[in-house]
Amino acid sequence: MTTTSSTPRPEYPRPQCTRERWMNLNGRWGFDFDPGDSGFERGLSSPDAELSLEITVPFAPESTLSGIGDVDFHHAVWYRRQVSVPTDWDGRILLHFGAVDHDTTVWVDGREVGRHRGGFTSFTFDLTARAGVRAGDTVTLTVRARDSKDAPQARGKQSTEYANHDADYTRTTGIWQTVWLEPVPEIAIRRPRITPDLEGEHFAVEVPLSTGLPGGRVRVTVSDEHGVVGEREVRADLTLTPRLTVAIVAGRVRPWSIADPFLYDVRVELLDADGAVVDQVGSYAGLRSVAIVGRSVLINGETVFQSLVLDQGLYADGLLTAPSDGALVHDIELSMQAGFNGARLHQKVFEERFLYHADRLGYLVWGEFGDWGCKTTGPSDDRQQPDASYVAEWLEALERDYSHPAIIGWCPLNETRQHISDRITALDDVTRAMFLATKAMDTTRPVLDASGYAHRVFETDVYDSHNYDQDPATFSATLGMLDPTTRTAFVNTEDDGDRHVEGARPWSLPYNGQPYFCSEFGGIWWNADAAAAADAPEQSGTTSWGYGERVRSLDDFYARFEGLVTALLGNEHMFGYCYTQLTDVFQEQNGVYDFARGQKFDIERIREIQTRVAAIEAAARP
């Protein structure tokens, strides 16, 4: 590994496919804005072209941690850095990007080596194959990132207006996750795909190779803290992706769960005809199952009520990028301290390090795409039509994150507000494509076609609604409309609590009795400074924002929180809920913690409310 104590985000970024030799390229890069997107025509792809600024990678130029902090629109930006490949490396040299928002082109010494579209997913370019880069070479890397505010691209909660407003926040442009180099042999292992089989007490492991190795073997070894618990070899030249079933020996089976998030070590090796190791990667795996039985979602065959919190993964100084690896851990610990056992990872494909920490801490998560409402520009309902890039980027996210045991469900889309009309639209096609792509990629987890508003797929595995009614009584009555026997369900509410009534242009296809949860509720607006003022926040000089009528005191908050939680835990048809939200985010001040992760409430009291109400409701049920 090549890194220094001053390198930002120095940890290895890909915990489920590790190699010992790598070079972290975070740190100072040359940088420039390109407001007219004319940089290519002006020769900025040349290694000799000057860039006028410097930036700290992996932080976006809008963030303060980047050293720039310019929050204007940036239609194109350029990066440059000279890199010396270590002389003791051999084989091919790969250049990895954790994520770049949104449309990326990379040059090496002025020669284009690759392009990628999508701001949330990782990608890799083979610098040896595309530019002849080898050990000992010194090369100049140039990166251009384009980021339009008008194109139909997935952008999550990034504001398409200049300023933050409502639930839209400061944009992220360009590199926002770790960049690194890595040597691999000419025939190399690609990311393994690990599927747990709890009943069969084994792991099914798929090992894609860059190409087959004549006479070679693939070996997978699974170990616990006491040593090897399973091992298997297969030929490396019979298929594009060798597949192995690695059984766990008797007495060493230990399921992954919230209470015991045990992870096995996994080593994947490629051996030549003489048995010598050609390539190897490290990984890990959790042995657990997810199933649907009736209206229940089971983990390891047992009902686990999912007390989730909405986590948007934003930071005041780093925006989409966590300032440190410890900050990722801290967010999970804060959530668990408040009594939540998991999160909806909301409108952002979280970096792999977060998922690693969720795996090892026993923290349930739903993987989600950052599409929010498929928002583009245009008139009426036709303004929100996604394109094929949504499907392509979502498939990249699924491929990257498939093997994480903490992920117990997928949600491709969020709050697609368009009514379902008498004609099939691009959104209908993309919603179904993303649902089917998820099911094809992963047969082991439930899939929610779209969270909140329009459910456009009849056979979606689970069903949900978003309901920000702030009155526990009417909130409970509304969710009491759920009746699996008659296939009726409440669809959604706007912020004011009014229901959307199905009519000629319904919000959703009919409910088919799937497992149901209220996947957004609460959002209780609390700002101590605003509460101290006699007038509403907008009249008292603050910019605090939240859902519905704000509470006037801490006691009011606890009473409302308990009333809303009681309504959900008291509904026998719910398999879980998701409270909005973990932290304040800029002007949206409805978090359990403030934006700096400081306490706003008595966290033990919030935890006690959830656990006490859950215990009472569980005791009351037959």
Give the CATH number for residue 531.
Answer: 3.20.20.80
Two tokens, residue 179: 């960049």
Distance CA 212, CA 210 (A): 7
Of the three residues 158, 184, 210, the one that is the final residue of a domain is: 184
Domain match, 357 and 232 both: no
8 A C-beta contact, residue 370 and residue 348: yes
Residue 162 domain boundaries: 23-184
pLDDT digits over 433-471, tens only?
A: 999 999 999 999 999 999 988 899 989 999 999 999 999
**HEC states along 305-356?**
CEEEEEECCCECCCECCCCCHHHHHHHHHHHHHCCCCEEEECCCCCCHHHHH
Among 28-32, 149-153, 407-411, 552-556, name the one with the lowest average pLDDT.
149-153
Find out whether 589 and 546 touch, Cβ atoms under 8 Å.
yes
Number of domains in the chain: 3
Residue 67 covered by a domain: yes
> Are 85 and 218 found together in one domain?
no
Same-domain pairing of 223 and 372:
no
Which long-range contacts (C-beta less than 8 Å, at least 24 apart) are formed by 495-504?
A: 495/468, 495/547, 495/548, 496/548, 497/467, 497/468, 497/469, 497/470, 497/471, 497/548, 500/453
Of 184, 219, 247, the last residue of a domain is: 184
pLDDT at 408 (0 to 100): 98
Task: Please tell me whether residues 126 and 252 are part of one structural domain.
Answer: no
Residue written as token pair 């809920």: 577
At which residue do the structure tokens 């440190």 appear? 324
Residue 95 inside a domain? The answer is: yes
Tell me what the mean pLDDT of segment 391-416 comes to: 96
Reported as a pLDDT band with limits 50, 70 and 90, residue 511 is: confident
User: In this structure, are 408 and 552 located in the same domain?
Assistant: yes
The Cα 492–Cα 216 span in angstroms is: 56
| Residue 445 falls inside a structural domain | yes
pLDDT for 572: 87
Whether residue 404 sits in one domain with residue 425: yes
**pLDDT per position as a tens digit, 54-109:** 999 999 999 999 999 999 999 999 999 999 999 999 999 999 999 999 999 999 99
Residue 114, Cβ neighbours under 10 Å: how many? 18
Residue 6 resides in a domain: no
Q: Are 320 and 590 in contact (CB under 8 A)?
A: no
Question: Which residue's structure tokens are 């966590």?
Answer: 322
User: What pLDDT sits at residue 516?
Assistant: 94
Structure token digits, residue 4: 């220094």
pLDDT score, position 541: 41
Identify whether residues 340 and 458 lie together within a single domain.
yes
Q: Is the pLDDT of residue 402 over 70?
A: yes
506, 391: one domain? yes
* Statement to judge: residues 141 and 197 lie in one domain: no
The answer on 561 and 415 residing in a single domain is yes
Q: 583 pairs with which residues across the strands?
A: 593
User: What is the pLDDT, as a whole number, of residue 256?
Assistant: 98
User: Residue 616: pLDDT band by 50, 70, 90 thresholds?
Assistant: confident
| Domain annotation covers residue 542 | yes
Q: What is the pLDDT of residue 419?
A: 78
pLDDT digits (tens, 9 = 90+) for 362-396: 999 999 999 985 654 444 444 557 888 899 999 99
Among the candidates 157, 184, 211, a domain finishes at 184
CATH code where residue 248 lies: 2.60.40.10
Reported as a single tens digit per residue, the pLDDT across 106-136 is: 999 999 999 999 999 999 999 999 999 999 9
Q: Does the pLDDT value for residue 537 go beyond 80?
A: no
Residues 613, 568 within the same domain: yes
Instruction: Give CA–CA dist 575/577, Å, rounded.
Output: 7
Work out the burial of residue 539: count CB atoms within 10 Å of its CB; fewer than 13 is exposed, 13-18 middle, 19 or more buried: exposed
The answer to the question of residue 210 being in a domain is yes
Residues 6+ apart with CB under 8 A from 373: 384, 414, 415, 416, 417
pLDDT above 60 (res 540): no
Task: Please report, in angstroms and rounded to a whole number, the separation of the first and last CA atoms in the chain.
Answer: 57
In a domain, 18, yes or no: no
106 and 236 assigned to the same domain:
no
Residue 299 lies in a domain: no
DSSP letter string over 125-158? EEHHHHH---TT-EEEEEEEEE--SSSS---TTB
